[in-house]
Structure 1
Amino acid sequence: MHRYILTLLLLLSLVTVKASPKFEVRAAWVTVAYGLDWPQTKATNTAGIRRQQSELIAILDQLKAANFNTVLFQARTRGDVLYASAIEPFNSVLTGQTGGNPGYDPLAFAIEECHKRGMECQAWIVTMPLGNKKHVAALGRASVTKQNPSICVPYKNEWFLNPGNPQTKEYLMKLVNEIVSRYDVDGVHFDYLRYPENAPRFADSKEFRKYGHGRTIAQWRRDNLTEIVRYIYKGVKAQKPWVKVSSCPVGKYRDTSRYSSHGWNAFYTVYQDAQGWIAEGIQDQLYPMMYFKGNNFYPFALDWQEHSNGRQIIPGLGIYFLDPKEGNWKIDEVERQINFVRSHGLAGQGHYRVRYLTENVQGLYDQLADEYYADPALQPPMTWIDSIPPTAPGALVVNRQKGYATLHWSPSQDDDKRNEPYYVIYASNNYPVDTTQAENIIAQRVRGTNFTYSPIRPWAAKDYFAVTAIDRCGNESKAVQLNHP
């Protein structure tokens, strides 16, 4: 029976899902650690700053051209950060020096540039690891191991925050609060929110004796991580309810009835009860790191979706395995996974890492841009936060001259002034414009009440336009349409 189910799942994954969904997360991780994806240039002078910024702009332009809509920008690596923090120092990758000020704020720059292109920007935060002894020594007095030694523990030549210390969640919340309160970020995305793998000798016995209260150490450790997730989720939502809170757990939750995890999973190996987090409603999205092939992918993707509690499951695809030096996967492996994700109603896909997109490894970027992501997609709404759409914009006027069309409309009204709506522009040669079809989207996340439509190819110009309002939870209003070309 198990073999029959797995065969059926594989056959379904071979079916190409032609229709491009209107609502879909299309995310890419931009890895800053060690300059893996960005930056390649040091910001040591004005010219270096411009080159460093230009490198990021080139990445974002490529993502935009392929209709990606979400950037997971690494804002914290190993106890150092990519923004102007009062808590932790700048990452040395920016200037070549630990704590070196690059002369601008990379996170603010990334957010602004993403928003210009209609894309969301989430701050990707590595939580527990603090780096090896050499890295910690390089941070000097600025390291959290010196500033807050009581919440740090060494393990196998590395340092970690200790999830068993109640002050750890408060420290992480201070970092998150810096980001959420000061930046127009669309989400905070937590990586390595877990214990080291198979860590029976992790140095938390003192805390376990003090706080265990009769639980097994395994359950206590899972409860510690859950309490951190709960504390941060509530803290973010109290401040800005529309900011997404997500994490990327180990890709297999635990054994499923369909297939074994072969002894490596989130629940037992690293003490992540990630399905418990979404069952409790303390995550908006999960990006399980599903860097697997075949039967190690499909049954577990289905398991995440079946236990999603209406939250958004966005499998992380291991596209780095397309590199011959990493795994030499064939591109059809990734295509089957995207087909499977779409056919089973998961919320989208995350691609790890962006360099394998921008370098078009095995033609993946071209395949996404030309086929799978040929049409734009909007963010799936977070109806558990807010399900009421804004009012429709009104009084749409279109002025045409010399191949351009300038649109103007009256603003939508929304009771929550902090959640001022954006606008989505649709165009078609048919009236009324069908706003259910992704192919008709020509712009999203438009601020203000004006938009200039200038098609690259004049013969592709559209006759009719429609405008909707969309709030930051993804709720879309009815459209205002213009009934003449």
Structure 2
Amino acid sequence: MKKSSFILLLSILLFPPLAAQHPPKYEVRAAWITAVYGLDWPRTRATTPEGIRKQQAELVEILDKLKAANFNTVLFQTRTRGDVLYQSDIEPYNSILTGKIGGNPGYDPLAFAVAECHKRGMECHAWIVTIPLGNRKHVAALGKASVTKRKPAICIPYKREYFLNPGHPQTKEYLMSLVREVVERYDVDGVHFDYLRYPERALRFADSYTYKKYGNGRDLAQWRRDNITEIVRYLYKGVKAIKPWVKVSTCPVGKYRDTSRYPSRGWNAFHTVCQDVQGWLGEGIQDQVYPMMYFRGNNFYPFALDWQEQSNGRQVIPGLGIYFLDPAEGNWTVDEIERQINFVRTHGMAGEGHYRVKYLMDNTQGIYEILGEKYYTAPALQPAMPWIDNVPPTAPAQLTVEKEATGYWKICWQPATDNDKRNAPTYVLYGSDTYPVDTANPENILTQRIQGTEYTYAPILPWDTRKYFAVTAIDRCGNESEACNQTLHRE
């Protein structure tokens, strides 16, 4: 039997779709919310008070459904092609919000998304498309607001589209100016870079002048890889200088390069688009990578394993192509995704991302129900980032539980005594029918990201009421304190 065929057979035998494992306590469960063309959101234009309300309600509906299925990470599209979904001093509002380029929707979508995610205990990462600037029609529609007009020296036309020139030193500075706006002004949990690469096999990409000026004897491919790496490095260090806990990630092409197990068949991150992602991981200039692994069989498993083996301890979160469950997109069956999730968990990867949220909302081939009822049956906390900070907060103290006249339970505690106000801990509340509460069991997580030091516990179903409670403090690098259990049994 060929080695490649053996890998696929082994993966199917070891990770059948019906063999769902117990969910881990720490796992990234992410979904991309795509704003470009309104693919996922929004459907309604914010041109009237009612339009604003509907547009916001559409996003709330998505977040509610993600929360109900125990998702914990939202990748919210914040920049598309030279336009944005927040109040920027640099680039105009995306027309999808109001129907008009630069049109103010009457609220700040990114601020709204961050606040609504945090209400639900979920992280919100600003998903930023970096190098592409759109086709000629789009750039022309942006007019004077387009970066191609404001900073033509760093822009290149190629195949009827425009791109930032990764080889120009000012490109990284321009991108960092956008990132700085987002990280300084908004309480985002991460910045997530997309299309941080050259166009595919761009032999005719018009950067010969820049290459002659800055190549310094390197061959073209290596120079281009170095350019992308320098942008990654510059953005990573820039974010960490502002808020060290904000996660920096990219979604690279799903195959890094050929592996010893299986070839990439000539299409990979390293050669095709000049992304040296394993170099970034090795240098420590990524906290997470979401490789776009929208493949099946041997085009998934060997490459997923390769990402994890070369991760340098950083978080590898394969992007799963759930859009292929739509018959109009592909002929996948849902067991493909189930096997991939089992494989990701078995090999200790940090979680998975789902592209895109529309297919979760539509429950395509039952994927939303399968995740909620079989794989994400309990909440999950974010994996820690010990390379940023590995010191847990002090434990909260004096947990008390009182029954109120409403029949609900008021739970209070004394705060952790950590003094870092910028990275102040939030709290995770646990409950169970046994004492002390087992905080290692994710099924005991009642809620997370509590900002204050009290919580009203109101179980929806009487038979789900927990008898005992515990609370921990958790910082924004994912370090969790020792648990504080209640000291008295409530009557």
Same-fold call, TM cutoff 0.5:
yes
The whole-number CA distance in structure 2 between the counterparts of 1:307 and 1:377 is 25
Deviations 1:407-466 (A, max 9, x none): 000000224221000000000000000000000000000100010110000111000000
Structure 2 contact 7–298 (Cα < 8 Å) conserved: no
Q: Which amino acid aligns with 1:87?
A: I
Q: Which amino acid aligns with 2:352?
A: Q
Q: Does 1:7 align with 2:19?
A: no
Q: Secondary structure of the equivalent of 2:15? A: helix
Q: Does 1:100 align with 2:100?
A: no
Aligned runs of 1:37-76 on 2, under 5 Å?
A: 37-76=40-79
Q: Does 1:429 align with 2:433?
A: yes
Q: Residue 356 of structure 1: which of 330, 355, 359 is its match?
A: 359
Structure 1 contact 403–458 (Cα < 8 Å) conserved: no
The whole-number CA distance in structure 1 between the counterparts of 2:4 and 2:65 is 42
The whole-number CA distance in structure 2 between the counterparts of 1:390 and 1:297 is 38
Deviations 1:314-345 (A, max 9, x none): 00000000000000310000000000000000
The Cα of 1:404 is off from its aligned counterpart by 1.1
Q: Does 1:418 align with 2:422?
A: yes
Structure 2 contact 20–374 (Cα < 8 Å) conserved: no
Structure 1 contact 6–258 (Cα < 8 Å) conserved: no
Q: Secondary structure of the equivalent of 1:28? A: strand
Deviations 1:192-244 (A, max 9, x none): 00000011000100010011001010000000000000001001001100000
What residue in structure 1 maps to residue 411 of structure 2?
A: 407
The whole-number CA distance in structure 2 between the counterparts of 1:156 and 1:354 is 30
What residue in structure 1 maps to residue 184 of structure 2?
A: 181
The whole-number CA distance in structure 2 between the counterparts of 1:27 and 1:80 is 24
Q: Does 1:299 align with 2:285?
A: no
What residue in structure 1 maps to residue 452 of structure 2?
A: 448
Structure 1 contact 246–283 (Cα < 8 Å) conserved: yes
Deviations 1:71-90 (A, max 9, x none): 00000000000000000000
Aligned runs of 1:2-151 on 2, under 5 Å?
A: 2-14=4-16, 16-151=19-154
Structure 1 contact 222–272 (Cα < 8 Å) conserved: yes
Q: Secondary structure of the equivalent of 2:459? A: coil
The Cα of 1:18 is off from its aligned counterpart by 2.0
The whole-number CA distance in structure 1 between the counterparts of 2:281 and 2:20 is 27
Aligned runs of 1:314-325 on 2, under 5 Å?
A: 314-325=317-328
Structure 2 contact 416–425 (Cα < 8 Å) conserved: yes
Q: Secondary structure of the equivalent of 1:175? A: helix
What residue in structure 1 maps to residue 156 of structure 2?
A: 153
The whole-number CA distance in structure 1 between the counterparts of 2:464 and 2:116 is 27
The whole-number CA distance in structure 2 between the counterparts of 1:313 and 1:225 is 20
What residue in structure 2 maps to residue 341 of structure 1?
A: 344
Structure 2 contact 4–298 (Cα < 8 Å) conserved: no
The whole-number CA distance in structure 2 between the counterparts of 1:218 and 1:80 is 29
The whole-number CA distance in structure 2 between the counterparts of 1:362 and 1:253 is 30
The whole-number CA distance in structure 1 between the counterparts of 2:5 and 2:76 is 40
Deviations 1:383-420 (A, max 9, x none): 10000000000011111134311100000022422100
Q: Secondary structure of the equivalent of 1:238? A: helix
What residue in structure 1 maps to residue 276 of structure 2?
A: 273
Structure 2 contact 8–297 (Cα < 8 Å) conserved: no
The whole-number CA distance in structure 2 between the counterparts of 1:8 and 1:241 is 41
TM-score with structure 2 setting the length: 0.98
Q: Which amino acid aligns with 2:432?
A: S
The whole-number CA distance in structure 2 between the counterparts of 1:300 and 1:221 is 23
Q: Which amino acid aligns with 1:452?
A: T
The whole-number CA distance in structure 2 between the counterparts of 1:371 and 1:412 is 35
The whole-number CA distance in structure 2 between the counterparts of 1:187 and 1:27 is 12
The whole-number CA distance in structure 2 between the counterparts of 1:9 and 1:201 is 41
What residue in structure 2 maps to residue 462 of structure 1?
A: 466
Structure 1 contact 427–466 (Cα < 8 Å) conserved: yes
What residue in structure 2 maps to residue 482 of structure 1?
A: 486
The gaps in structure 2 that reach 5 residues or longer are: none
Q: Secondary structure of the equivalent of 1:423? A: strand
Structure 1 contact 254–265 (Cα < 8 Å) conserved: yes
What residue in structure 2 maps to residue 254 of structure 1?
A: 257
Structure 1 contact 266–274 (Cα < 8 Å) conserved: yes
Aligned runs of 1:222-237 on 2, under 5 Å?
A: 222-237=225-240
Q: Secondary structure of the equivalent of 2:311? A: coil
Aligned runs of 1:380-391 on 2, under 5 Å?
A: 380-391=383-394
Q: Which amino acid aligns with 2:430?
A: Y
The whole-number CA distance in structure 2 between the counterparts of 1:2 and 1:302 is 14
Q: Which amino acid aligns with 1:449?
A: T
What residue in structure 1 maps to residue 399 of structure 2?
A: 396
Q: Which amino acid aligns with 2:6?
A: Y
The whole-number CA distance in structure 1 between the counterparts of 2:479 and 2:418 is 11
The whole-number CA distance in structure 1 between the counterparts of 2:434 and 2:179 is 47
Q: Secondary structure of the equivalent of 1:418? A: coil
The whole-number CA distance in structure 2 between the counterparts of 1:139 and 1:391 is 51
The whole-number CA distance in structure 2 between the counterparts of 1:359 and 1:134 is 32
Deviations 1:7-32 (A, max 9, x none): 32332222724211000000000000
Q: Secondary structure of the equivalent of 2:460? A: coil
The whole-number CA distance in structure 2 between the counterparts of 1:198 and 1:182 is 37
Structure 2 contact 36–80 (Cα < 8 Å) conserved: yes
Q: Residue 372 of structure 1: which of 375, 386, 396 is its match?
A: 375
Q: Sequence identity, in percent? A: 71
The whole-number CA distance in structure 2 between the counterparts of 1:414 and 1:180 is 23
| CA-atom RMSD in angstroms | 0.9
TM-score with structure 1 setting the length: 0.99
The whole-number CA distance in structure 2 between the counterparts of 1:3 and 1:92 is 48
Q: Which amino acid aligns with 1:461?
A: T
The Cα of 1:2 is off from its aligned counterpart by 4.1
